[in-house]
């Protein structure tokens, strides 16, 4: 079983969550291809049993680089593929704290008839640049464990 993890990250926080998920999956014997969204080349759905996509929340939605990627993502080929989505966010001072990049990723992938197997993971950062709030790496590890349980 091999997974595909794609993330965007301006300041490294979303990258850290993506790496933590990849590492935890790896420790359980599940290999992954981990890509920064800016380096993704041609993807073959047949190479992957599941997909994990993560983005910082920008203005209550997916960051621009991840949004561009998802526009190009050929949904029909990935139909039925299990997926999970995550974001990092700094909800301090926002009028609507419910807005989330991860929820928007999940919505877009479900529109492509992909199969969401877990609720989204939302990781909190301090300020715009981070670091991640204490405990978020541990929460990401637990999320990976839940993912493994769903996949087996
Ligand atoms: C242009 C911009 C818009 C942002 N809008 C939001 C927002 O609407 N809600 C929120 O919780 N955080 C917002 N943030 C904070 C980001 O979520 C935070 O910078 C991000 O989680 C850091 O992740 P990274 O280190 O992977 O880039 C925004 C940040 C930027 C740069």
- What is the predicted pLDDT for the residue at 41? 87
Q: Are 148 and 28 in contact (CB under 8 A)?
A: yes
Q: How many whole angstroms from 5 Cα to the centroid of ligand 1? A: 20
> What is the model's pTM?
0.97
pLDDT digits (tens, 9 = 90+) for 68-98: 999 999 888 999 999 999 999 998 866 666 7
Nearest to 144 by CA among 8, 30, 6: 30
The answer, yes or no, to whether any atom of ligand 1 lies below 6 A from the CB of 12, is: yes
Residue 93 is predicted with a pLDDT of 66
Task: Give the number of the atom of ligand 1 that is nearest the alpha carbon of residue 11.
Answer: 25
What's the confidence (pLDDT) of residue 76?
85
The pLDDT of residue 74: 84
Which one-letter DSSP state was computed for residue 36? E
Neighbours of 68 (CB within 10 A): 14
The parts of the chain modelled with pLDDT lower than 50 are none
CB of 89 closer than 6 angstroms to any ligand 1 atom: yes
Q: If you take atom 28 of ligand 1, which residue's CA is the nearest one?
A: 58
Rounded Cα distance, 27 and 24, in Å: 5
- The Å distance, Cα 88 to ligand 1 centre, comes to 7
52, containing H or E segment: strand 50-58
Q: What is the pLDDT of residue 96?
A: 66
CB 86 near ligand 1, within 6 Å: no
Q: What is the residue with the minimal CA distance to atom 20 of ligand 1?
A: 56
**β-sheet bridge partners, residue 34:** 5
Between the CA of 117 and the centroid of ligand 1 the distance, in Å, is 25
pLDDT given for residue 75 in this prediction: 83
14 CA: nearest ligand 1 atom: 26
């Amino acid at each position: 079983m091999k997974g595909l993890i794609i993330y965007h990250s301006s300041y490294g926080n979303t990258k850290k969550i993506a790496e933590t998920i990849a590492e935890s999956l790896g420790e359980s014997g599940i290999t992954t291809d981990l890509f920064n969204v800016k380096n993704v080349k041609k993807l073959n759905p047949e190479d992957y049993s599941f997909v994990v996509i993560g983005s910082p929340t920008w203005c209550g939605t997916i960051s621009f680089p991840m949004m561009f990627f998802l526009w190009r993502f050929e949904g029909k080929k990935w139909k039925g593929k299990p997926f999970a989505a995550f974001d990092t966010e700094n909800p301090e001072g926002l009028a609507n704290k419910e807005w989330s990049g991860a929820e928007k990723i999940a919505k877009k992938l479900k529109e492509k008839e992909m199969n969401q197997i877990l609720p989204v993971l939302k990781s909190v950062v301090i300020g715009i640049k981070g670091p991640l709030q204490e405990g978020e790496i541990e929460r990401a590890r637990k999320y990976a464990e839940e993912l493994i349980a769903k996949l087996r």
